[in-house]
Amino acid sequence: MRGTFLLLLLMAASATALGQPDPRTTIYKGPTQIALPCRNLSLSVRHVTDDAAMGGHNLIDYAFKNTSTAPCALIGYPRFELLDKSGKVRPHGRAANSRQLLGDEAKQPPQLVTIEPSKEVGFRVYYNSGGAGYMGKPCPVVRKVRITPPGTTRRFVLREQITFCTSLQVSAVRSRVPE
């Protein structure tokens, strides 16, 4: 009797496992509509705000906008890179993924974010520009950054003036865009 029960349980579990969708082609279901992963041409990016604090602590908020006519979804960390004059990534110029940036109250792991048409989602970048008490060489000034949304190959190059010394970090995409 016990062997039959275990066999039935194993068969039910196997059938359930076989019916699981392929995560590479999964259609994300939002509250009312179905959202496919955002594609290269369906997004734009903009600098929203920035904030500097004592000690060289700096935060920049960015937003991805859905420029298509259908909802799309993002999950994960954008790639954020500091570029030199020739357009190459500077040494130590690629941001590390971070679940908690300076000023965040709690860790914020990546979550699926659906972007309705003409709406935006945000992400943050933290860097240190030396600040009071910094004793090293003068920090280089970067004038361009390259941003790649998660799950896409689209690269955006923006003009930014960032004095970068240490600790470059990027948050996961978030549903809230700071104002």
- Which fold, 23-170? Immunoglobulin-like (2.60.40)
Mean pLDDT of 57-61: 92
Q: How confident is the model at residue 27 (pLDDT cuts 50, 70, 90)?
A: low
Structure tokens at 169: 């970090």
Q: Among 98, 66, 90, which residue's Cα sits nearest to residue 169?
A: 98
Q: How confident is the model at residue 50 (pLDDT cuts 50, 70, 90)?
A: very high
Whether residue 172 has pLDDT greater than 90: yes
Mean pLDDT of 55-61: 88
Q: Please give the pLDDT value at position 33.
A: 53
What's the pTM value of the predicted model, to 2 decimals? 0.78
- The Cα–Cα gap between 162 and 113 comes to 28
Domain ranges in the chain? Answer: 23-170
- The Cα–Cα gap between 173 and 166 comes to 22
Whether residue 152 has pLDDT greater than 90: yes
- Burial of residue 78 (number of CB atoms within 10 Å: 0-12, 13-18, 19+): buried
Does residue 117 or residue 167 have the better pLDDT?
A: 117
Q: Please give the pLDDT value at position 74.
A: 95
- In tens, the pLDDT along 132-144 reads 666 677 888 899 9
Q: Are 156 and 46 in contact (CB under 8 A)?
A: no
Of these ranges, 8-22, 24-38, 50-64, 133-147, the one predicted with the greatest mean pLDDT is 50-64
Q: Are 128 and 167 in contact (CB under 8 A)?
A: yes
